[in-house]
Amino acid sequence: MPVTVATVLDEEDLARVADAMNIIAGHDTESMVRTVMPHLGRGEGAAIGRYTAFNHVALAVFPRTFDGLVEELARQGVDVTRKTPSVVVRDRLCRRYGIRRRDLSVEILRAAVRDRAGQKCELEMFAVLTPEHLAHIAEAERAHSWENHVGLCVPQADPVLVSGLRSAITTCLCPDGGGYNEYEGSTVLYFRGDHPDPAYRRLELVSRGGRLPGVLEQHLRESDVGVELLRLLTGAWATQAIATAAELRLPDHLTTISDLPGLAAATTADQDSLNRLLRYLAALGVVRTSADGFHLTEVGQLLCADVPGSMRPLALMYGGSFYQAFAGLPEAVRTGVASYEKIFGFSHFEHMARDPQVADTFHQSMAASNAVFAEVARVVDFDGAGTVVDIAGGNGQLLSQVLAGTPSLRGVLFEKPHALTTARTVLRAVADRCRLVSGDFTKSVPDEGDIYVLSRILHDWDDEECQRILETCAATMPAHAELLVIERLLPEREGGASLAIPWDVHMLCNVGGRERTESQYRALLARAGFDLLDTQPLPLDIHLLRAIKFEVPEQGRETHHHVGGGH
């Protein structure tokens, strides 16, 4: 692009315009999607490219006057084909610098350009009229390139398509505002990332064809970082709202009662206060409202006491002693010592031994993961085993499902005496094939098993104690036996998603234990004499890790029982 002496625009702006032209010439839709979102999966990237087109590259320029601006750009080889007033960018700048709308003039100038593939594209310039008293805006915007972006266009937009594209893009870019441009009849959504080159840090998704109010409202809400922080800060309130609903047995009453007066009478609650709680539960997705009152959602149904897989005990536990223990998180982080004992005067396990009600609620909450237990019975082939030993198996819920699924199998529940009392009831249907053995798994385990199970046990302990537990198992288990470890796994890479991340902090407060990655478990198992063979995902972000002792001959590893191909 030829450069001549500028009179309306600064030389710096002209150089930035030339850079933007070069970006367009160097990209097509596929390469631009890959450049702006390098962490996007191949399938998602291809889908975005299928429904969008590389549309423009944009930057802000700061003319001293609009008079002669188009002519000056033409002398630089940039032929402006369209001019429209700016709505979205003008409003963003006004908010950013505390300026009234009427005091800031912004026009959008567009010049037709061809991309690398020869497809039509545009150079989009936000011309911000910058008299002397607004020079600080030009200085800051040039320094930070806040309005620079690349654009993708959705030619035939509809709410479902744009919502899906937005969801895919937000897996690697953050919502960053947007709006409706009434002059062009398009909804624009901005996203931002951390690309090292400022030219690629922001993306605009332009949806032609009218307003998309629902999509835009959601996007703007997620763009407000203050709202997002407040949502996070009120997470404790959500816990207590759900726990209160569980304590009042509100979900159970909602299965037969929908009107507010009836629910207030059934729960013996103040009607106005209950209405406010229900409104919050509706916002959380636990209940829904209709013309005839309130109804449970699928999420809310899990809080009913008698449904299969009821999570009501979890709600009571997380809203009770676990909630109180979390109040000591600052001290736990400072000292590395669990806060539970400081709050209650006893360690978590000692508290359960002293208080049968706390122990019962805890074991019920552990048993609330019925979906996990059922999946263990499905993905593990127990037919080749004679005896399964469930180490510290709580009230026996997992063992009962495993034994029910394999009639030829015998079981041993190895637990503390207070847990075995409850387990007798849970295991009544399989009592003829199950022994209840009292003991301390940190010191010894039964020696008669073909399969040993440690379900959500190791995360209760630090690495040193985990090592002792695994070494105790290795020393006692028969040479042919397998060990099944059931735990949540932390992501191996930073930024990965898993419920293990918040649970890791919960373990810090509650018992001083920790969640771990698969590779960390692999190392712990290896030091204790085990070889981790494979890992299988289970519901609720839990995984099953299958291990055998090193001394098992290679050719004999698959002769007994295996993960996969369940019954």
Tokens at 288, concatenated: 């829904």
pLDDT at 473 over 50: yes
pLDDT of 195: 92
- Reported as a single tens digit per residue, the pLDDT across 99-125 is 999 999 999 999 999 999 999 999 999
SS3 371: helix
- Across 149-156, average pLDDT: 92
pLDDT of 109: 95
> Would the pLDDT of 557 be above 60?
no
Amino acid 368: pLDDT? 65
Query: Binning pLDDT at 50, 70 and 90, where does residue 470 land?
Result: very high
Instruction: Write down the mean pLDDT value for the chain.
Output: 90
Active-site position among 56, 459, 560, 561: 459
Cα(203)–Cα(32) distance, rounded to whole angstroms?
10
Average pLDDT over every residue of 523-527: 96
Q: What is the DSSP string of 460-487?
A: GS-HHHHHHHHHHHHHHS-TT-EEEEEE
Residue 506: active-site member = no
C-alpha–C-alpha distance, residues 461 and 305, integer Å? 31
Q: Name the helix (H) or strand (E) containing 312.
A: helix 312-318
Residue 364 has pLDDT above 80, yes or no: no
Token pair, residue 314, equals 């979890």
Percentage of the chain modeled with pLDDT above 70? 95
User: Do 100 and 94 meet the contact criterion of CB atoms below 8 Å apart?
Assistant: yes
Q: Helices marked H in 380-462 — which ranges? A: 397-405, 417-426
pLDDT digits (tens, 9 = 90+) for 477-502: 999 999 999 999 999 987 677 899 99
> pLDDT grade, residue 217 (50/70/90)?
very high
Q: How far is CA 468 from CA 336, 465, 513, 528, in A?
A: 20, 5, 14, 8
- Alpha helices by DSSP H, listed for 319-384, are 321-326, 329-335, 340-344, 348-354, 356-367, 370-379
Average pLDDT over residues 50-55: 94
Q: Which of 53, 54, 63, 55 has the alpha carbon at shortest distance from 16?
A: 63
Question: Which is higher by pLDDT, 327 or 182?
Answer: 327
Distances from the Cα of 246 to the Cα of 250, 252, 275, 506, angstroms: 6, 9, 16, 21
- Using a 10 angstrom Cβ sphere, with 0-12 exposed, 13-18 middle and 19 or more buried, the burial of residue 464 is exposed
pLDDT of res. 369: 64
Mean pLDDT within 133-158: 92
Q: Are 79 and 112 in contact (CB under 8 A)?
A: yes
Burial string for 294-311 (b: 16+ CB within 10 Å, else e) reads bebeeebbbbbeeeebbb
Q: Say how far apart CA 73 and CA 83 lie, in whole Å.
A: 13
Please check the confidence at residue 558 and state whether its pLDDT lies above 50: no
The answer to whether residue 392 scores a pLDDT higher than 90 is: yes
Residue whose token pair is 């750009």: 73
Q: Is residue 116 a contact partner of residue 138, using CB atoms and an 8 Å limit?
A: no
Amino acid 371: pLDDT: 67
Whether 383 contacts 356, CB under 8 Å: no
CA pair distance 250, 90, nearest whole angstrom: 49
DSSP 233-298: HTHHHHHHHHHHHHHTTHHHHHTT--SHHHHHHHHT--HHHHHHHHHHHHHTTSEEEETTEEEE-H
Confidence (pTM): 0.70
Tell how strand 451-455 and strand 174-181 pair up: unpaired
Q: Is pLDDT above 70 for 462?
A: yes
Q: Which two tokens stand for residue 373?
A: 């237990």
